[in-house]
Amino acid sequence: MHALSILDLAALVFFVLAWLGYHVLVEVTGLGNGGLNHIMNEYRREWMEQMVIRENRIVDSTLTSALQNGTAFFASTSLVALGGVVTLFRSSDTAVTIFADLPLGLATTRESWEIKVLGLAVIFIYAFFKFAWSYRLFNYVVILVGAVPVLTDANLEEARVAARRAAALNVVAGRHFNRGQRAFFFALAYLGWFVSAYVLFVTTACVFFVIWRRQFNSDARRAVLDSLS
């Protein structure tokens, strides 16, 4: 790690803490219960409860397929981005010269550049695994939806248990999708490090603020809350 300065290390630590801190605040602490993701999870559960009383479940299958397709798109995008990162390794010398000439750019070494590129590759690999697993889970959701029996007086509790099972897996699939998308957002912040450590501080703070605002103080959150009230 001698290729990185103290300032670079400080910026990297700030970046990692911001990402992990957001994860803990939204998914671990009770603060996340007021967030948009939590509210939408309640709608996922309500969706499955409504599905039980529908004999024709073509709409439910179509909606689940749409979730799968969206997840597959992001998984493919992760691989494309990873291919771009590999290209950066092949043009390290040219890239170092270009970024050093930027107004906010600081002189950097090839070793430092390659460490930064490696970090970006790790982010996109993480995102791919999250999206790929989410896609697989949505596939399982389709199976569970198909396994929910048609509601009758004789199997009322059985149908509701099956619906809650499908809803629980739907929530888990959505959680992994959100984590993959969060990796994309923080990847954008990470790009600031290629200019300088100072820029990484700023871009990380900006991304944290944007995703926090969307989660807890956005028009989308207000819209779904109005629907619940």
DSSP state string for 86-152: HHHHHTHHHHHHHHHTSTT-----HHHHHHHHHHHHHHHHHHHHHHHHHHHHHHHHHHHHHHSPPP-
Q: What is the pTM of this model?
A: 0.89
Long-range pairs of 222-227 with CB within 8 A, sequence gap ≥ 24: 224/36, 224/39, 224/40, 224/43, 225/39
Evaluate whether residue 222 is within a structural domain: yes
Contact 163, 37 (CB under 8 A): no
Q: Write phi, then psi, for 149 (nearest 5 degrees).
A: -70, 155
- 22-69: per-residue pLDDT in tens? 999 999 988 888 899 999 999 999 999 888 888 777 888 888 888 999
**What's the CA gap between 6 and 168, in Å, rounded?**
45
Query: How many independent structural domains does the chain possess?
Result: 1
- 80-106: per-residue pLDDT in tens? 999 988 887 777 667 667 666 666 556
Evaluate whether residue 136 is within a structural domain: yes
Evaluate whether residue 142 is within a structural domain: yes
Domain containing residue 179 = 6-25+35-228
Evaluate whether residue 1 is within a structural domain: no
Evaluate whether residue 30 is within a structural domain: no
pLDDT band at 227 (very low <50, low <70, confident <90, very high): low
Q: How many Cβ atoms from other residues are within 10 Å of residue 5's Cβ?
A: 13
- Residue indicated by tokens 């996109």: 124
Evaluate whether residue 185 is within a structural domain: yes
Q: Write phi, then psi, for 71 (nearest 5 degrees).
A: -65, -40
What is the secondary structure of 24-59 as a DSSP string? Answer: IIIIISGGGGGSHHHHHHHHHHHHHHHHHT-S--HH
Evaluate whether residue 171 is within a structural domain: yes
Evaluate whether residue 93 is within a structural domain: yes
